[in-house]
Structure 1
Amino acid sequence: MPVYKNETLNTWYCKFYYKDWQGNRKQKKKEGFKTQREAKAFEREFLHKEEGSCDMAFGSLVELYIDDCKSRLKPTTLSNKEYVLKHKVTPFFKDMPINTITPTTVRKWQNELLAHESDFSPTYLKTINNQLSAIFNYAMKYYRLPSNPARDCGSMGKKNAESMQFWTTEEYNKFIEIVNDKPISKVVFPLLFWTGIRSGELLALTLNDFDFENRILSINKNYARLEGKDLTLEPKTPKSKRLINIPPFLCDLVNEYVTMLYDYQPNERLFNVTKFYLRHEMNRGCEKSGVKKIRIHDLRHSHASLLIELGFSPLLISERLGHENIETTLQTYSHLYPNKQSEVADKLQNLAVLKTY
């Protein structure tokens, strides 16, 4: 692998031929290396990457993986994936050939994260580990990596948080009294609490999504903001597209709000704010009302817990929340059903006693 020196600039460069993925012979030239060694290393790594060799460095594999994801993922999902890989995964593995990374190597990386001063939550640790495993699964499928060392090592963290925050109707009523002084807050927080929709679904709503006659809210899109741009995207999952029956008082709140808007078109976003506004209002309302602080997403949990307390079935709750399957609902909210077991036993006892007599 010959490399060359630019005597004028006192730098090194490499120039070589390779075959692309279609089998076409092409030439590659890269300049500006400070040393001969750096130029040779670039050529070697470039060829490993083009050949799909397991000798390629982990950093090169990440580049290939991200390029593959660009046409398959939503911009926000891709951005989150890139952030995790760039800051939590790649720094540790970057220069390691992928075929030299073992379960022991992964274990050392996991231990570093577990002992990190940031004290990452169990759910975030699980997310980070899943991203690493996805990289190796990709290498197994397309670059002949024999096994996934992240899977062989075992996961870290937890899929679900140990405790779930939510408000009772009493806590919600204290909060809403405070934020009612702003027209948008007077509408968006009741919608979040009494429907269980996601914040992105809320912020994507238009007037056309409301059927006031039949009192039905249509959820069919999701709002996100990325790099200063407003994006209207497909919902999180296919089941996220759904129709939600809403009570009359929510219809009245939305209609009252619309009458205050100037030059509004029914296909435009109804609530022209961002998630930052929602968080700011949550903090303001909690501080002034004395209600415990929860996340915006916890309003969704609050709605689910309310429906459970009212005795609605997991299937209905799953459909209303837009979960992909009922298992998600049961896994997320199973801890809210502890008193149901005793109710079952009492009813069975009553039936048995009636039959005896």
Structure 2
Amino acid sequence: MRITEPYTIFLRKLPSGRQIYYYQFRDEDGRRSAAYSTGTDKISQAKRICQRLYNEGKFSSSRQLLFSTFSSGFFDENSPYNKWKKTNGNELAPSTLSSYKRLLEMQIVPYFGDMPLRKITTDTVKKWIVWLNENWSAKTSNNAQSVLNIILKSAKEKKLISEVPSADLSFRKIKKKNRELLTTKELNRIYHSPLWGKDWECARRAFLTCAITGMRIGEIVGLQTFEVGNDRLNVEHTLHPKFGLGPTKTRVCRFVPIPKVLRLKEQCGSRWAFQKIDEEKPCLAGFIYKRLMLICDSLGIDHKARGITVHSLRNMFISYMRGSSFGETIDLKIKAVVGHADESMTDWYTYWKPEMFPEIYEIQEKLFKEITEGEK
């Protein structure tokens, strides 16, 4: 269906002889309005003025405002949405903005782009969700639905629509993947594999640190030397291969206890905790992942069938901790170590100190020994 242009721009000669650009827009029935002055004789400026008025819904033809027009640039760095997030103290990481843009471009605009905002109904959104579920995973579907909610909520705030048609629709249930975690014996064999190579000893240490802290791999490779202590790590950043250092996933800084037997502090590079010999660059997560997969293949560990990735080390750590003799009593401490978000008031009033983690240190030292002692 062809959508008629919502406004037109034209020159009008004033009695003074000056020429000014005027505009007309269409009402809800498609009829042209009276002519209004833009106050400028420059066509580029007149177009910007009309587009801004249109985007703000100042024309009575706002019913014809297309979704693609309204959502254009919505997640740009300097967009009104992102500026408000910054003002609110909830600034989105560059990687998050990039992800939102990708979802908008790939999963949302292809379906809703040519639709007027006010033509998007709950039934329309339901059909879109069915389309998503037929073509993408549950996670992608849910993420796209969340992004659509953000955009339509903004449209309602601007009074371009009366309600958010997607607001009360449930998300798709995500089935938990069946994973067979690495055992400590397998971790031991991986740690002692010669395939790490002498030049990439930092990757092996990063692997080991992942296994005994449960930290996210981005947090591991983003550790800087000054953030490493003898018995703790100050976790303030995550390292993205494209966007560099950014905040942690939960935007909360925390410290993570490490056993002194790890001796990580004395092995740090000049800037990065995990730094390749004779280089100022950190060991990247992608290399650690590829090396781990290579070693698994060499040891006959079917990482594909078992769903093993670097992130599996985090799953293993949490499961190992919760399954220990301390499991029932240290859940809050485990959550604090791995950086899981929770809105409970218990967290709000809890301030952790290293001396409050004797159980964590004890289990970590045991795990360290199981992984690093002579090959079994």
- TM-score, with length taken from structure 1: 0.71
1:94-145 CA-to-partner distances (Å, cap 9, x unmatched) read 11111110111112212222222xxx32222211211112211222223342
Q: How many residues align?
A: 288
Name 2:283's counterpart in structure 1.
Answer: 273
1:83 aligns with 2:102: yes
Describe the shift of the 1:244–1:100 C-alpha distance in structure 2 as closer, same or farther (beyond 3 A): same
Structure 1 residue 166: Cα displacement:
3.1
Q: What amino acid maps onto 1:297 in structure 2?
A: H
Q: 1:314–1:326: 8 Å Cα contact kept in structure 2? A: no
1:48 aligns with 2:54: yes
Higher helix share: 1
Structure 1 residue 148: Cα displacement:
1.4
Structure 1 residue 151: Cα displacement:
2.4
Describe the shift of the 1:135–1:166 C-alpha distance in structure 2 as closer, same or farther (beyond 3 A): farther
Describe the shift of the 1:2–1:316 C-alpha distance in structure 2 as closer, same or farther (beyond 3 A): closer
Match for residue 191 of structure 1 among 206, 209, 224: 209
Partner Cα distance (1:2, 1:325) in 2: 52
Name 1:148's counterpart in structure 2.
Answer: 164
Name 1:110's counterpart in structure 2.
Answer: 129
Unaligned runs of 5+ in 2: 1-6, 12-19, 25-36, 84-90, 276-281, 345-376
Describe the shift of the 1:290–1:111 C-alpha distance in structure 2 as closer, same or farther (beyond 3 A): same
Q: What amino acid maps onto 1:236 in structure 2?
A: K
Match for residue 220 of structure 2 among 202, 209, 212: 202
Structure 1 residue 70: Cα displacement:
3.8
Name 2:185's counterpart in structure 1.
Answer: 170
Partner Cα distance (1:145, 1:70) in 2: 21
Structure 1 residue 279: Cα displacement:
2.1
1:217 aligns with 2:233: yes
Partner Cα distance (2:315, 2:237) in 1: 20
Instruction: Report the 3-state secondary structure (helix = DSSP H, G, I; strand = E; otherwise coil) of the residue aligned with 2:166.
Output: helix
Name 1:248's counterpart in structure 2.
Answer: 260
Partner Cα distance (1:250, 1:160) in 2: 36
1:300 aligns with 2:318: no
Structure 1 residue 198: Cα displacement:
0.9
1:60 aligns with 2:69: yes
Q: What amino acid maps onto 2:66 in structure 1?
A: A
Q: 2:10–2:22: 8 Å Cα contact kept in structure 1? A: no
Q: 1:89–1:132: 8 Å Cα contact kept in structure 2? A: yes
Structure 1 residue 236: Cα displacement:
2.1
Structure 1 residue 280: Cα displacement:
1.2
Partner Cα distance (2:262, 2:250) in 1: 25
1:220-267 CA-to-partner distances (Å, cap 9, x unmatched) read 1121132xxx5211222243x11111112322x552x44xx5xx2xx4
Instruction: Report the 3-state secondary structure (helix = DSSP H, G, I; strand = E; otherwise coil) of the residue aligned with 1:232.
Output: strand
Match for residue 333 of structure 2 among 316, 322, 338: 316
Match for residue 297 of structure 2 among 287, 293, 300: 287
Give % identity. Answer: 22
Partner Cα distance (1:171, 1:26) in 2: 74
Instruction: Report the 3-state secondary structure (helix = DSSP H, G, I; strand = E; otherwise coil) of the residue aligned with 2:340.
Output: coil
Partner Cα distance (1:189, 1:126) in 2: 31
Q: 2:256–2:337: 8 Å Cα contact kept in structure 1? A: yes
Partner Cα distance (1:222, 1:250) in 2: 21
Describe the shift of the 1:304–1:146 C-alpha distance in structure 2 as closer, same or farther (beyond 3 A): same
Q: 1:176–1:285: 8 Å Cα contact kept in structure 2? A: no
Instruction: Report the 3-state secondary structure (helix = DSSP H, G, I; strand = E; otherwise coil) of the residue aligned with 1:81.
Output: helix
Partner Cα distance (2:81, 2:181) in 1: 35
Unaligned runs of 5+ in 1: 6-13, 19-23, 32-39, 328-357
Partner Cα distance (2:208, 2:214) in 1: 10
Q: What amino acid maps onto 1:277 in structure 2?
A: F
- TM-score, with length taken from structure 2: 0.67
Instruction: Report the 3-state secondary structure (helix = DSSP H, G, I; strand = E; otherwise coil) of the residue aligned with 1:184.
Output: helix
1:177-220 CA-to-partner distances (Å, cap 9, x unmatched) read 225433122200001111011111111111211111xx111111
Partner Cα distance (1:130, 1:161) in 2: 20
Q: What amino acid maps onto 1:57 in structure 2?
A: L
Superposition pairs of residues 334-345 of structure 1, within 5 angstroms: none
Name 2:351's counterpart in structure 1.
Answer: none
Partner Cα distance (2:314, 2:185) in 1: 16
Structure 1 residue 284: Cα displacement:
0.9
Provide the aligned C-alpha RMSD in A: 3.2
